[in-house]
Structure 1
Amino acid sequence: MDSLQNRLLPIATKIGNQKFLVALRDSFIGTMPAVMTGSIALLINAFLVDIPTQFGWDAIVTNMAWLAGINSLIFRGTVSVVSLIFIFSLGVNVAKIYNTDRLSSGIVAFSAFIISIGNSVSSTFDISKVKGDLAGALKGAEGISIHGHQMEVTISGLIPGSDISSNGYFTAILIGFLSAIIFSKIMNKNWTIKLPDSVPPAIATPFLSIIPAFISLYVVGIFITVFNNVTGQSLLDWIYKVLQMPLLGMSQNIFAVIAIAVLTQLFWFFGIHGGNVMAPIMEGVFGVALLANLDAYQHHEAIPYLWTSVSYSAFVWYATLGLLIAIFWQSHNSHYREVAKLGLAPVLFNIGEPVMYGLPTVLNPLLFIPFLLCPAVLSAVAYGATYFGLVKPVTQNITWVMPPVLYGFFATAFDWRSIILSLVNLALATFIYLPFVKMADKQDVVE
C-alpha cells in the first residue's frame, strides 16, 4: 500500500494541480447548467413524443405538441450549441489562471472560435427525377453546382450547426487556450490603453482589453488563414478527422473503458478525488461521446457511441451500494454495520463519501481488491451488454443524484432492459464484496 501510495500520490497531485487541466475541468463543469437543462428537455420530450408514439397514443403527441416544441427550442439553445457555451467558459477559466479580466477573455475566446470554424452550409440533392433542363437553367448560379444527378447548394454567411455542436469540442479546446492565453499574457504585460483614474472601472476595463484582444484575434485569424490555404480544409474538419475521431474511437475499446474505471477508483482508494483527476479524459473524450449520442437521439439518427461518461454513472459507480448490501446481509462487524446504516441514504443518491471515509474504504487494505475489481467487472458487463445490443447505449445526461437502477433506465431513454443490467451489476458488486466483508468480521474478532 505504501509503495503504491508513494508512486501514485505525486502523479495525482501533479495532474490535480496542473493549472491548464484544472481550467479545462472547470470549463466542462461550467457548461453543466445549460447542458443539463437541454438534456432534461430532451428527456421530457421522450415522455411526450417517443413513448406515446411507440404505443400509438397519438392524442398525447397532438395535445402536448406545444410543450414538445418548447423543449426542442431549449435543446437547440443548449446542447446543439454546446461548443459555443464551452468556449466562453474556457476563456473565463483561463483568465482565472492569469488573474485578468474574465469577461473579456471569454468574449475573445468566443470570437476566436467563430473565426476558426466554417462560414457556409452545403446540402446535396438528388435531381434525377426532375424534368427539364435544370442544369441549363441554373448554370452560373452562385453557390450551385451540378454533377450528374447530384446538385450541391452552398449558402455563404451561415455557421454550420455541426461545427458548434459536440463536433467542435476539440477545436474549441485548442483555439480557446491559444486565444485566451495570448490575451491574458498581453494583459499582464500592460500592453493596454491607459485611461485616467477618474474613469469608472466599468468603462476603463473594456478599454484595457482592446489591444490584447486585437493581437489575440489577429494571431488566430492569421493562423486559420494560413492553415486553410496550406491544407485546403478547415481547422475544425482537420482536427475532427485526425484527432477527435481517433480518440473517440479508442475510448470505445473495452480495455480503455475498464482502464479508466479502475484508474479512477485507484485514485479514490488513496483519498484522491478520482473524478477530478480523470475529468479531462472523462469529459473531454467520453463527455463528447455523450453529447454526440444526445444529438443523434434528438434527430432520430443511429447512436454513434457505445460508451459515454454517463455510462459509468448508470452502471458502475454505484458499486458502494453492493458493499452496503453485503454488510447488511452477512457482516457482524459492529463498526461496519453502524457506518452502513448512516451511509445508506446518501449512497442511494450516489453520495459515497460517508462510507468511503467512515468505513473506511480509503486506504483499507482489506477492501483494496474488491474496490478495484468491482468497477472492472461492472464496466465489462455493462459494455458487453451494450455491445451485443442487450441494452441500448446511454443517450441522456442525467443528474448525478439519480438513484441506482433508475439512473440506467433514464440514461438509456427508458430501456427496461437497463433495469435488469443494473440489478445484475448490483448483485455482482455485492458478491464481489461479500468474502471481504466476512474477512472484516474475523479481523474484528481478532482485535
Structure 2
Amino acid sequence: MNRFMEILEDVLMPIADKLNNNRYLTALRNGFMVALPLIIFGSIFVVIANLPFLDRILSEEAYTAYQNALGPASAATLSIMGLFVIIGIGYKMVEQRGGEAIYGGVVALGSFLILTPQVVEGVAGVIPTAALGAEGMFVGIITAFIAAELYQWFVRKDFTIKMPEGVPSAVSRSFSSLIPVSFTLTAFLVLRVLFSFTGFETVQNFVYTIIQQPLTALGSGLPATLIAVLLIQVFWFFGLHGQIIVNSIFDPIWYALNDQNFSAFQAGEELPNIVTKQFIDTFLVGMGGTGMTLMVLIMIFFVAKSRQMRELAKLGGPSGIFNVNEPVIFGLPIVMNPLVLIPWILAPVIVAAVTYFAMSVGFAPRPAGVIVPWTTPVLLSGYLATGNNIMGAVMQLINMGIVGLVWFPFIKLLDRQYYGEEQTI
C-alpha cells in the first residue's frame, strides 16, 4: 500500500501542482469556496424540509405549510448557487491581477444575466430560477472567465476615466471602472443578439443542445447505464450538475422501466428490469449523494489527520446521511481536483456494474418500482426500494465497501497533502 501511495504521489502531485498554479482553475476553485457557506446552509434546510415520510405523519395542509416555511432557505441559496459562484470567479480572476476585484465580480454577474433568457412561460422580464442554479453553471463559469478577462483587458489598455485629485477614492474607482464595465457588458449584449438570429436562440440552448444530443442516442441496459453514470461524474468534476444534464435524457426511460417493475411487483410476477429509476437513486445516489460520498466522510473520520478534512466531515456528515453532498463536492473539493478524479469516476462505475451483476444472478433483489424519497438514509432506502427485502440493504453495504476500497489510498494522499500544508502555517 505504501508503494502504491508513493506511485500515486509521484504521478498525480506534479499534475496537481501545475493545475493548482493555473489561474483559471485557481479562480474556479476559489469561486466555489465563496459559495460554500451558502451551499452548506441550503443543504441543511433541504434535508430538514424533506425528512423521509414526514408527508405521511403530517396532514397534507400541514406538510405543505411546513415546506413553504422552509423553502426560501434553499431557494435563496442552493437554487441560485450559480450566481454566487459567478461572482466569486469574477472577483478572484481580477484579484489575481491586482485589480479592483469587486468590479470583476459584478461584471461577471452582469454579463451572465445579459445572456440569460428573461422570459418564463410567456411572461417577459422574469429570469427562470433554474438558469441561475446548477443547471446554468457551465454557461456561468465560462461567462465569468471571459467577462473578467475582457474587463482586465480594457483596464490594461487604459480605457478609464481619470478623476482629479481630491475626489473620494470610492467615487474615483467607480468612474475608472465605468468604461471597462460598459464595454464588457456591451460585448455580451452583442453576443446575445447574435445568438437570437440562430436556430438556438440563446447561448444556454446552444450549450444544452451540444451536451444533450450525444446522450439521446443512448438507451437502457448496462452499457448505457455505465455511460450515464460516467457522464454524471465527469460533468460534476467540472462543476456541472451531472444529474440534471444526464437525467433529463434518461429519466423518461428509467421511470418507464420503474413502472414496469412496480406493475409486476403488485401482480406478484417476476420483475422484468434491473436498471430503473430506483436502481440509480437507491444503489448509487442514495448512498450519500452523487458519487456515494457518505463512505468518503466515514473514512475521513477514521483516517484523516488534516484539520480541514475532519472539519469538512463534521459539516458534511449530517446532510450526507440524507444524500445531500454539495458540501463535500465543493468543500473537499471534488470539482476540478485531479487528486480525486480517479476514485470519483471509478467508484460509481464499479458499483453500478457490481450491483447489476448481483441482481442479474439473483444475489440481490431487483428494485420493486416503489418510489422511495431521495432523502431516505442508506440501508433503509435499499430495504424499501426492493419491496422490504433485507438483501437490498445488504447490497448497499457491499457497495459502500467497494467505495471505501477505491477511495482509501486517495483519501490518504489528499490528507497527507492538506496535513503537510497545515504544518507549515
TM-score calculated relative to the size of structure 2: 0.60
Match of 2:196 in 1: 228
User: Secondary structure of the residue that 1:317 maps to in structure 2?
Assistant: helix
Which residue does 1:80 correspond to in 2? 79
Report the Cα offset of residue 27 of structure 1: 1.8
Alignment of 1:165-204 (within 5 A): 165-204=133-172
Moved more, 37-46 or 110-119: 37-46
Q: Which residue of 1 aligns with 2:318?
A: none
Letter in 2 for 1:158: V
Match status 1:380 vs 2:350: yes
Contact 1:319–1:426 (8 Å) recurs in 2: no
Contact 1:320–1:347 (CA under 8 A) maintained in structure 2: no
Find the aligned partners of 1:58 and 1:187 in 2 and give their Cα distance.
58
Measured in 1, the distance between the counterparts of 2:306 and 2:90 equals: 42
Q: How does 1:382-421 map to 2 (within 5 A)?
A: 385=355, 389=367, 408=378, 420-421=394-395
The corresponding residue for 1:282 is 237
Q: Distance in 2 between matches of 1:23 and 1:342?
A: 23
Could you give the per-residue CA deviations for residues 218-248 of structure 1, whole angstroms, max 9, x where no partner exists?
Answer: 1111122112213451111111121367589
Matches within 5 A, 1:152-163: 154-163=122-131
Task: Tell me, yes or no, if the aligned pair for 2:304 and 2:310 is still in contact at 8 Å.
Answer: no
Distance 2:239 2:304 in 1: 35
Query: Does the residue aligned with 2:123 lie in a helix, a strand or coil?
Result: strand
Asked whether 1:31 is paired with 2:5, we answer no
> Does structure 1 retain, via aligned residues, the 8 Å contact 2:226–2:352?
no
Q: What is aligned with 1:16?
A: 20
Does structure 1 residue 311 correspond to structure 2 residue 290?
Answer: yes
Once residues 260 and 19 of structure 1 are traced to their aligned partners in structure 2, the CA distance between those partners, rounded to angstroms, is 26
**CA drift at 1:114:** 1.1
Distance 2:379 2:95 in 1: 39
Residue pairs, 1:43-58, within 5 angstroms: 43-47=47-51, 51-53=53-55, 55=56, 57-58=57-58
Task: Report the secondary structure of 1:242's partner residue.
Answer: helix
Instruction: Quote the Cα distance in structure 2 between the aligned partners of 1:202 and 1:32.
Output: 29
Shift in Å, 1:82: 2.4
Unaligned runs of 5+ in 2: 219-223, 257-276, 316-341, 360-365, 408-425
1:12–1:248 distance in 2 versus 1, CA, 3 Å: farther
What residue number does 2:270 align with?
none
Cα distance between partner residues in 1 of 2:306 and 2:246: 39
Distance 1:342 1:220 in 2: 43
Overall identity of the aligned pairs, in %: 21
Relative distance call for 1:102 and 1:342 in structure 2 (3 A) is closer
1:183 is displaced (CA, Å) by 0.7
Q: CA deviation at 1:116?
A: 0.5
Identify the residue that residue 423 of structure 1 maps to in structure 2: 397
Superposed, 1:33-182 pairs within 5 Å as: 33-47=37-51, 51-53=53-55, 55=56, 57-59=57-59, 62-63=61-62, 66-122=65-121, 154-182=122-150
Structure 1 residues 51 and 206, CA, compared in 2 at 3 Å: closer, same or farther? Answer: same
CA distance in 2, matches of 1:204, 1:427: 60
Give the structure 2 partner of residue 442 of structure 1.
none
Counterpart check, 1:238 vs 2:238:
no
What is the rounded CA distance, in whole Å, between the counterparts of 1:23 and 1:249 in structure 2? 35
1:89 & 1:257 partners in 2: Cα distance?
Answer: 29
Give me the whole-angstrom Cα distance separating, in 2, the residues matched to 1:166 and 1:174.
14
- For the aligned residue pairs, the C-alpha RMSD in angstroms reads 5.0
Aligned length: 327
Deviations 1:174-209 (A, max 9, x none): 211111110122223332111133222222221111
Query: Cα gap change, 1:46/1:342 in structure 2, threshold over 3 Å: closer, same or farther?
Result: closer
- Give 1:58's aligned amino acid: L
1:51 counterpart letter in structure 2: F
CA distance in 2, matches of 1:93, 1:393: 41
- The one-letter amino acid paired with 2:243 is A
Tell me if the contact between 2:31 and 2:92 (Cα under 8 Å) persists in the aligned partners: yes
Which segments of 5 or more consecutive residues in structure 1 lack a partner in the other structure? 123-153, 262-277, 325-338, 352-371, 397-404, 434-447
**AA aligned opposite 1:254:** L
Q: Deviations over 1:322-380 (max 9, x none)?
A: 9x7xxxxxxxxxxxxxx89999x9599489xxxxxxxxxxxxxxxxxxxx899956752
Give the conservation status (yes or no) of the 8 Å contact 2:300–2:310.
no
Instruction: Decide whether aligned partners of structure 1 residues 7 and 169 sit closer, same or farther in structure 2, where only a CA change above 3 A counts.
Output: same
Farther off after superposition, 77-86 or 61-70: 61-70
Rate the CA distance shift 1:411–1:58 in 2: closer, same or farther, 3 A. closer
The verdict on how the C-alpha distance between 1:429 and 1:384 changes in structure 2, with shifts beyond 3 A counting, is: closer
Contact 1:118 1:159 in 2 (8 A): yes
What is the deviation of 1:317? 2.6
The one-letter amino acid of 1:198's match is G
How has the CA–CA distance of structure 1 residues 430 and 217 changed in structure 2, closer, same or farther, with 3 Å as cutoff?
closer
What is the CA-CA distance between 1:118 and the residue it aligns to? Answer: 1.0
Counterparts of 1:349 and 1:85, CA distance in 2: 23
